[in-house]
Structure 1
Amino acid sequence: MPTGTAIRDVSQQLFDAAERVLLQGGPNALTSRAVTTEAGCAKGVLHRHFDDFDAFLAALVLDRIGRIRAQGHALHAAAGTNTVADNLTAALMDLFGSVAVAIVGLVTARDELRARLHQAGSSGVPVLTEATAMIASYLTAERAQGRIPSGADVDMLALTLIGTGHLLFAGRQGVAPEADEVRKVVTSVVAGAAR
């Protein structure tokens, strides 16, 4: 990129490039040079906007957590519409069909990144923790409407759905499970709450 050419929304451009590198090559392929090359900018651009590469990665993860929270608001608003299984299936497909599984691998692989995320207030495994809260909030709203049994432990259901969803999507090298496979798991978990 020529000197003096302004880059619009630099952080977003770098985040999107990092996602592509992460999805194509995994956590070990994610370097500042790989990100800036993918973004089509000089390496110095990243370091002008972030203190170091781990600060960049922490900002990337926090940005993606923000997206999960936005998805959570939409899911919560969907309570009482469609079926519970359809809403949960769509949410899991959207969540794990994105870069979330790769980010979990990235957080697991980088000790300094985990430390920075915990300093920023993230707990547990960032992304999965927020996704669990999103599902629990939705299930609480459905329980209030009587579409989930009143005695259902929504926190345990959410953990089960996120854990199972992660296992369904992890290790597939870019080939996501079919919606019917995800719906089958969701239906089994939700049906278990009714017992």
Structure 2
Amino acid sequence: MPTGVALRDAREQLFAAAERVLLRDGPNALTSRAVTAEAGCAKGVLHRHFADFDAFLVELVRDRIARLDVRAAVLREAAGTGTVVGNLTDALEDVFGSLALGILGLVIARDELRARLRATTPAGLPLLTEAAAMIGSYLRRERDLGRVAGEADVDTLALTLIGTGHLLFAGREDAPPDPDDVRRTVGSVVAGAVRAV
């Protein structure tokens, strides 16, 4: 590998390279050598920006979790528009995209990574915990608007949607589930809570 190649925004380029390896080859193939080879740089570049490979992975996962904040804001703004089921279906399809599933596989496969992430996500699985909070926040807003029943336990609904979504999307090598199937499942989960408006 050439050592004199300058990388603009090395962190983002290394993150993007890690995502490509993760999507193409899975979590077990994600090594510092695979990431730097994919990025077209020397292995030392990664270690110049991160203490070790697990520190790199922690920052990769945290960066991708931070992107949920943007999605959460979009979802909260959707409250009162469209349908609750439609908004939740779109959110689940976004949360469980192929990259998110790869990140989840990575977190599950690497004990050291999971242990380091406990500092910011002390319970549950990182990414899923934050996704459940995003959906719970959206459902609270819809409840305030009267589109979700006042007595609805939105936190339990959010956890149920995340767990069900994970089961629907995980383990599919060929293609994501049919959007109509996702919508039907979401509708079933929230049927007792969503008010017809």
TM class by shorter chain equals over 0.9
The residue aligned with 1:187 is 187
Output one character per residue of 1:172-191: Cα deviation in whole Å (capped at 9) or x when no partner.
01511121111011111110
The residue aligned with 1:15 is 15
CA apart distance, 1:101: 1.3
Output one character per residue of 1:51-97: Cα deviation in whole Å (capped at 9) or x when no partner.
00000000000001101121111101110011111111111111111
Look up the SS of the partner of 1:192 in the other structure. Answer: coil
Q: Which letter maps to 2:153?
A: D
CA apart distance, 1:119: 2.5
Give me the whole-angstrom Cα distance separating, in 2, the residues matched to 1:192 and 1:24. 40
Output one character per residue of 1:75-125: Cα deviation in whole Å (capped at 9) or x when no partner.
011100111111111111111114111111111111110111112455321
Q: Which letter maps to 2:16?
A: D
Moved over 3 A (4+): 1-5, 120-123
The residue aligned with 1:60 is 60
Give me the whole-angstrom Cα distance separating, in 2, the residues matched to 1:22 and 1:5. 24
Give me the whole-angstrom Cα distance separating, in 2, the residues matched to 1:146 and 1:126. 31
Give me the whole-angstrom Cα distance separating, in 2, the residues matched to 1:176 and 1:98. 8
CA-based RMSD of the aligned residues comes to 1.6
Aligned residues: 195
Unaligned runs of 5+ in 1: none
Give 1:1-195 correspondences, 5 Å limit: 2-194=2-194
Stretch moving more, 24-33 or 52-61: 24-33
Give me the whole-angstrom Cα distance separating, in 2, the residues matched to 1:148 and 1:90. 17
Look up the SS of the partner of 1:193 in the other structure. Answer: coil
Look up the SS of the partner of 2:96 in the other structure. Answer: helix
Give me the whole-angstrom Cα distance separating, in 2, the residues matched to 1:81 and 1:70. 18
Look up the SS of the partner of 1:99 in the other structure. Answer: helix
Going from structure 1 to structure 2, the CA distance change for 1:86 and 1:166 (only over 3 Å counts) comes to: same
CA apart distance, 1:34: 0.6
Q: Which letter maps to 2:152?
A: A
Aligned sequence identity (%): 67
Q: Which letter maps to 1:60?
A: L
**TM-score scaled to structure 1, two decimals?**
0.94
**TM-score scaled to structure 2, two decimals?**
0.93
